[in-house]
Amino acid sequence: MGGLWVDFGYLIGATLFIIGLRKLSSPATARDGNLWAAAGMGIAIILAMVEPISGFGNYPWIFGGLIIGGILGWLMAMKVQMTAMPQLVSLFNGFGGACAVLLAMVELNNGYENQTFTQGSILIGMLTLVIGGVAFTGSVLAFLKLDGRVNDKNVTLPGHTYINIAFGLITIAGLIYFTIYPDKFNGTALAISIVWSLVYGWSFVAPIGGADMPVVISLLNSFSGLSGAAAGLIYGNRMMLIGGILVGASGTILTILMCNAMNRSLWNVIIGGFGGGGTSSSGADGEVREISVNDAAILLYYADSVVFVPGYGLAVAQAQKTVKELDDLLEANGVEVRYAIHPVAGRMPGHMNVLLAEADVPYPKLLDLDDANSFLNQATVAVIIGANDVVNPAAETDPGSPIYGMPVLKVWNAQHVIVMKRSMAAGYAGIQNPLFFHPKNRMLFGDAKKRLQDLVTEVKGMG
């Protein structure tokens, strides 16, 4: 009877996971989706405690892990700023991969010591170890890059693409060999496999940077899920299997969608096509025209429609609530306000959506790439706040540019363009932006939040 109730509990938990995932697809129900999924995870934890494999002596370890993990999770949720959310997501991906590595280590070691390996068990164990290791160290490196602690050039070797190809081929060869000859696996092979998977993860992410980082985070998220699913197969745990499959599948689908939005293949992302500090073949120069805060405020106040284009600079300045305040003032004056969201704006999938949701910007105001470009054709003013690569016309006009062919927001089709930036520095992809020198464009230099606050003050004075 106990087994029946446990199976029934797994069914309920899995159902809650699926309901939660479904609700996460809409901003209106995303908060509830998190709670539904958390309830499913709570059931999984309870089932793990009532179904001990090696007796009740495991409870101190279980409760110890719950207490430590719960405290760390709560502290991170309370302390981490919204600007650091991409780094936090990377760490969570890494934790999932590290967990899978530890589980695979235990099972592979048991199989080696007790000589209980089968071809299927060693294949699943090795897959769990490799995928988990890549997810762990790859996510750690992604965190360090996003946090500005590591420069792409410092971790990329000459011919790094070929190094990663060699890593992949040798990994596949090792998986095939030990699957065919499981009796050849020993302690030395286990140690080498652990180190190999961890080094491979670091090398895998090293050449990837620039505008590809949101795609990398999504891909590592799928790796974390797949490693969890493989660990579920090792332990015969249905909840781990289902949860891992859901995370892995959703991460994979999101990765593919983002690659399509960038008009690039996943392979091109993996080999590091962007973010290598590349430069345009033609360069970009010309006359930079500035605009004062007062003139910018007048332009916005008397506009028929305004499109805000948020980027990572908005997140760094924590200016989402200030732009919402400016939005409200303009709407009160009869100005139609929208937000153009590029799929890879920011440093993680949905980064701008999360920031604007925190500021209570109504979701219908957020336009995706195609709708935004249609709206920009008749917009009076486009205001770029900390975005760069996603509004770079070189993606359409310069075949020598590293971002050539990537769909971008065509802000230059608006009647007027205002770019808010601290300086003329290149974007994260390391290339100059010809938009800065466009005849329609005016530069408003300074901290995004401070400049938006100045605009709010000016617009209030016009009311």
CA 171 to chain centre: 26
Is the separation of the CB atoms in 336 and 304 below 8 Å?
yes
Write the Ramachandran bin of 290: left for phi over 0, alpha for psi from -120 to 50, otherwise beta.
beta
Question: For the residues of 359-425, what is the DSSP string, one character each?
Answer: TT--GGGEE-HHHHHHHHTT-SEEEEES--GGG-THHHH-TTSTTTT-----GGGSSEEEEEESSS-
| Interval 174-179 mean pLDDT | 95
Active-site residue list: 389
* Two tokens, residue 450: 């401070």
Residue 52 has what pLDDT? 61
E strand or H helix at 183: none
Angle ∠(352,354,358) on CA atoms, nearest 5: 115
- List beta partners, residue 338: 307
| Cα–Cα nearest to 228, from 243, 217, 213, 211 | 243
> pTM above 0.75?
yes
pLDDT tens digits, residue range 94-151?
999 999 999 999 999 988 888 888 889 999 999 999 999 999 999 999 999 888 888 8
Residue 25 banded pLDDT, cuts 50, 70, 90: confident
* Two tokens, residue 127: 């897959």
% of residues, the chain, pLDDT over 70 = 93
Name residue 169's amino acid: L
pLDDT tens digits, residue range 199-208?
999 999 998 8
**CATH class entry, domain 293-462:** alpha beta
Residue 429 has what pLDDT? 59
pLDDT tens digits, residue range 206-226?
988 766 788 889 999 999 999
Residue extents of the structural domains in the chain? 1-76, 96-276, 293-462
Name residue, tokens 């060693």: 122
pLDDT tens digits, residue range 232-263?
998 888 888 999 999 999 999 999 988 887 77
Lowest mean pLDDT among 46-60, 173-187, 228-242: 46-60
Q: What is the mean pLDDT of the chain?
A: 89
Residue 54 has what pLDDT? 60
Question: For the residues of 223-283, what is the DSSP string, one character each?
Answer: HHHHHHHHHHHHHT-HHHHHHHHHHHHHHHHHHHHHHHHTT--HHHHHTT-S-S----SS-
